[in-house]
Structure 1
Amino acid sequence: MSHLKDGLSIKSQFSVFTALVFHHTAVFLFLTSSCEGQSQLIGPPQPIVAILGEDIILPCHLEPAMDAVAMTVEWARPDLKPKFIYVWRDGVGLLVDQNPSYKDRTSLFINKLNHGDVSLKLSEVKLSDEGRYRCFIPSIRRETFIQLNVGSVSSPVLGINKDPSGVVLECESKGWYPEPELFWLDAEGKLLSAGAPETVRGPDGLYTVSSRVTVEKSHGNSFTCRVQQSKIQQTRETQIHIQGDFFMDITTADCSCSTEHIVIGFAVVFLCISFAFFVYKWRQNKIETKTQEREGEKTESVRNNVELEVLMEGERNREQVSAESDTTKNLDTKNAKLEKQQKKENKEKQMEPGETNRDTNDS
């Protein structure tokens, strides 16, 4: 009996367990089917490219389609403050908390809301509009993101000039964004070897790109300047066709230029030789002038030395004459003294005999 009761207890427990599993499975399937039946917000899988100044549509729609007229739809850029670009609520567009840079430039297609189309129209696109946009419906908590890339393009302008080395082609394209690339192609579509293009960004944020290339007749008669920007997937190109006789004119011009170069070369050489000769003569004259000045200085020095010697000789002669005069005077003086002395002695000798006779008489 106890075994029978145990068996019934186990069966009842198993039945309860089965019922619970069935119930939870049914609930899970119901919830899954409910979720699967709810609409999703669908946006573009690739970035949207807008050209500067044009109008653009940022696609966003409910799938499966359902009426969105009574729903709240929020368009925003998370990187901005305030972030809201456009808000649809209670059947009207709200301007509260709208980013001022989008004022009067955003709108929804009201006649398409009942089909679940909540796409945003953005007018007069600016460079600052580039970014990541969020399309969000709060009531069903569904969102999707759209990347907007803004670009600006213009067709290149070609120019042609003659050069002794060939024909020079010039290409310039203004008003690009982002920064573009420039290529030269020949008649067969092959890249031509050219220097790196020059790129300048203006105060408006747009780029101007330019390049020059020298071409010859061997490259063909048709040439293309291509400007492209891969991010916005935009390409612009301009082709030019050069007549064959234009290259002939270049060849003739080359000959003429060669003759002119030869004449100019001879003229330059002649001027250089003339200048060198002039410098040589000028230096020679300068050297001769210095030599003459040195010789004049030497002559003047010799003359001065001679005059000095003459003066010194005269001075020596005067001194000698003076000395001789003094000697003569001394001799004359001595002779006078000697004569006087002699006379005195002679007089004394003459007086001695008389005195002797007087002495004798006195005796």
Structure 2
Amino acid sequence: LGSKPHIYLEDLQNGGIAVVCESSGWYPEPEAKWEDDNMNNISSSIEVKALDSRLQFHVKATYIFSGHPFTLSCCIRNPILSQWKQSTVHITDAFLQRISSCISNRLLISAFFTVPGILLSLMAVRLVNKQMELSQELGALREELDWRRAQRFA
């Protein structure tokens, strides 16, 4: 039998969380699955690959976390001996609240920088438009002044 399954969490690029289970030293190629606390199979990504020249296999099972508290077990089975190795993790509300507050903080920081950036951009556009308007008005006033000077000397 291979090693006891090792469970850990990975932060995904999209802000989600993956629960990952890994085990090595299996022969023949093992079967792997995730189960919930009611022993129901949960769909996941299972990757099995040969590790070394002794044809021992390494298993990596990944479950994308759905956002509610649960107990999750990673089960790896030798199909010939029908023997299992299993590890279990329980994800609590407290953990989810930390994740939620972390996401809230990221959103708050993003809003803190985004809103002023938009306001500054709008102000810059208004200033440029006002400058163009004043420049045109100044040109018209200069033309009028030149015309009046010309009328005075004529």
Deviations 1:152-187 (A, max 9, x none): 33211111245532x421110010000112111112
Counting only pairs closer than 5 Å after superposition, residues 74-93 of structure 1 correspond to structure 2 as none
Counterparts of 2:64 and 2:8, CA distance in 1:
12
* Structure-2 residue corresponding to 1:169: 19
Query: What TM-score results when the alignment is normalised by the length of structure 1?
Result: 0.29
* Structure-1 residue corresponding to 2:71: 222
Cα 1:181–1:265 shift into 2, 3 Å: farther
* Structure-2 residue corresponding to 1:88: none
* Structure-1 residue corresponding to 2:36: 186
Contact 1:185 1:192 in 2 (8 A): yes
2:87 maps to which of 235, 238, 261: 238
1:196 is aligned to 2:65: no
Matched residue SS, 1:197: strand
**Aligned residues between the structures:** 117
* Structure-2 residue corresponding to 1:256: 105
Contact 2:29 2:48 in 1 (8 A): no
Deviations 1:176-234 (A, max 9, x none): 0001121111122122221232424322221111122122343x421100111222212
Contact 2:46 2:62 in 1 (8 A): no
1:205 is aligned to 2:62: no
Cα 1:168–1:261 shift into 2, 3 Å: farther
Instruction: From the two aligned structures, give the one with the greater strand fraction.
Output: 2
Contact 1:174 1:208 in 2 (8 A): yes
Cα 1:228–1:263 shift into 2, 3 Å: farther
Contact 1:160 1:169 in 2 (8 A): yes
Cα 1:193–1:256 shift into 2, 3 Å: farther
Structure number with higher relative contact order (C-alpha < 8 Å, ≥ 6 residues apart): 2
Counting only pairs closer than 5 Å after superposition, residues 118-197 of structure 1 correspond to structure 2 as 152-162=1-11, 164-165=15-16, 167-197=17-47
Counterparts of 2:61 and 2:117, CA distance in 1:
34
Counterparts of 1:173 and 1:200, CA distance in 2:
12
Counterparts of 2:30 and 2:84, CA distance in 1:
9
Deviations 1:301-348 (A, max 9, x none): xxxxxxxxxxxxxxxxxxxxxxxxxxxxxxxxxxxxxxxxxxxxxxxx
Instruction: From the two aligned structures, give the one with the greater helix fraction.
Output: 1
Q: Which amino acid aligns with 1:189?
A: M
Shift of 1:255: 1.2
* Structure-2 residue corresponding to 1:310: none
* Structure-2 residue corresponding to 1:6: none
Cα 1:174–1:247 shift into 2, 3 Å: same
Deviations 1:211-265 (A, max 9, x none): 22122343x4211001112222121111112222101111111212223445676
Counterparts of 2:73 and 2:36, CA distance in 1:
6
Counting only pairs closer than 5 Å after superposition, residues 94-105 of structure 1 correspond to structure 2 as none
Matched residue SS, 2:42: coil
Counterparts of 2:2 and 2:116, CA distance in 1:
52
Q: Which amino acid aligns with 1:160?
A: L
Cα 1:176–1:264 shift into 2, 3 Å: farther
Counterparts of 1:169 and 1:175, CA distance in 2:
21
Contact 2:28 2:78 in 1 (8 A): yes
Contact 2:2 2:25 in 1 (8 A): yes
Contact 1:156 1:225 in 2 (8 A): yes
